[in-house]
A and B are shown apart, each in its own frame.
Chain A
């Protein structure tokens, strides 16, 4: 159904936006307990390769390979979560980064999964957009309920003061492992969805920049509410598309209006600026994050601002 609604290009954009939103939730889950992970791209790679191997080499249907990809990534996430329990801040960042690096090296040197050639001809799944939308709905509902539950509150408490949380009887070890494993599983699902849409992955598909972008999504969207990752990933992924549309409109401007000084310079500048190729996008990301850190360090959406929206009188 969704398949027929959009042309191929739009569908592609929507799938990648959805995958990014899921990736943002995969960062958000461990971050809820204060664990900052730069390894989510690594878990995406694990899910992507797992699902690619299962479907292409063993003929498993995608509907069965997808949950397996999530479980495999989640299981490895719990294993990585154990050493991650004892370390915090910059050291955890480095540990998870190192993990993602290991995944990349394994993917690069393991011929069974294509090695340096990459994994080719992953079965294309036409209904991937339906999967993506369904999973995002499930994730939003899940995190909405988590936020209003005792477990969600416990995760917030662990984030804010781990020692005090442990002394107040919270099982910090299990809570952090659960959050880390959950995040890894979500990343695995996102990676698998990506693989069966792109049909080709290699060791560089899920590199450090992907991990940094995932982090950006949550920082920009806001990490104190479950709407933040959705907003951040949606906004930042669709921003280049939006600008591209503006550029298309710009080209509709009659030539007679712009072929004299200074309008020709203005036109050229705008035309150039709206062409949002990769390097420029990263520069703009950098600027956005600097501005955000100064103006809205908690992200575009915060739990308090949402509260004010719902109940203006209590503000």
Chain B
């Protein structure tokens, strides 16, 4: 297990309200670089809201986020992706008409073309029948990523035609194509069978070994407790426990949140 260096993200007093409802309330949290950090909690605890705030899909009401020591003040999600944060979606959000290969190449676009004018230039100004050099490189990288996730055989299939489990993997491949240093996985095991979940366990570890810090939202406790370096437990937008998987599992308020009051550990 890699030892903690500088934190990947530091969060102070992060708050998000929807009307009068606190989706997140004064959350303080730190994710160490190189860790697999799980975020668990009952439905509605604010886990996905947390991802939406980190990626800029939603704007926080209060609080500060530091990413690798610098404030994460870019407003738009695409700018944060450029900073090195990528995510998957709880409800799979692939581009249904693109093939698996094309889907991954979308993730690479922001690294291959710094500006839209470069992208336009590369699209229009090249010799006939001559593929742009960037395009070739993107295709090779994308094939590599598909192979990494075991999707190479599906490269030319439409994303919407892939089996559910493969779609989840394709989401991970697309996120990795943006070359993130922080990867947010939103329930990657949801809807997978036990074999697929076991394979996912290994996949996540291998991604971590590529030097990517991972924050994992997951309900599958076997998966969470097996691979996480640290676990944070949220309930009603508030952090109720944090620690190693062992510490968290024994924590009284965690048991209370999950099983109800008055249960003896």
Contact = CB atoms under 8 A, between A and B. Distances in A.
Nearest to B180: A169
B78 A170 contact: yes
Contact of B122 (A150, A160, A166, A178): A150
B95 to A, nearest CB: 4
Contacts of A156: 95, 97-98
B140 to A, nearest CB: 14
Given A150-B135, A161-B95, A163-B57, A169 B110 contact: yes
Contact of A160 (B77, B95, B119, B178): B95
A152 B132 CA distance: 13
B166 to A, nearest CB: 17
Contact of A168 (B81, B120, B135): B81
Contacts, number: 105
Among A152, A154, A156, A161, residue most surrounded by chain B Cβ atoms (within 10 Å): A154
A168 B174 CA distance: 8
A153 interface: yes
B119 A166 contact: no
Contact of A154 (B109, B126, B134, B135): B109
A56 to B, nearest CB: 33
A315 B94 CA distance: 23
B175 interface: yes
Contacts of B122: 149-151
A238 interface: no
Contacts of B4: none
B106 A151 contact: no
A174 to B, nearest CB: 5
B138 interface: yes
B116 A171 contact: yes
A174 B116 CA distance: 7
Main secondary structure of the interface of A (DSSP, over half): helix
A150 B112 contact: yes
B98 A167 contact: no
A218 interface: no
B46 interface: no
Nearest to B51: A167
B22 interface: no
A170 B110 contact: yes
Interface residues of B, number: 40
B102 interface: yes
A149 B178 contact: no
Nearest to A171: B78
A167 to B, nearest CB: 5
A315 B84 CA distance: 39
B49 to A, nearest CB: 15
B78 A166 contact: yes
Given A150-B109, A150-B122, A166 B77 contact: yes
A161 B89 CA distance: 12
B239 interface: no
Interface in A149-196: 149-154, 156-157, 160-161, 163-175, 178
Contact of A164 (B89, B105, B112): B89
B255 to A, nearest CB: 35
A219 B177 CA distance: 34
B164 interface: no
A150 B138 contact: yes
A169 to B, nearest CB: 3
A6 interface: no
Contacts of B87: 167
B235 interface: no
Nearest to A153: B102
Interface of B: 55, 57, 76-78, 81-82, 86-87, 89, 93-98, 102, 105-107, 109-113, 116, 119-120, 122-124, 126, 132, 134-135, 138, 174-175, 177-178
Given A150-B105, A161-B93, A163-B57, 13 more contacts: A142-B124, A150-B112, A150-B113, A152-B123, A153-B98, A154-B109, A160-B97, A169-B82, A169-B110, A169-B178, A170-B106, A170-B109, A178-B116
Interface of A: 142, 145-146, 149-154, 156-157, 160-161, 163-175, 178, 224
9 contacts: A150-B119, A160-B98, A161-B95, A163-B57, A166-B76, A167-B86, A168-B109, A171-B116, A175-B116
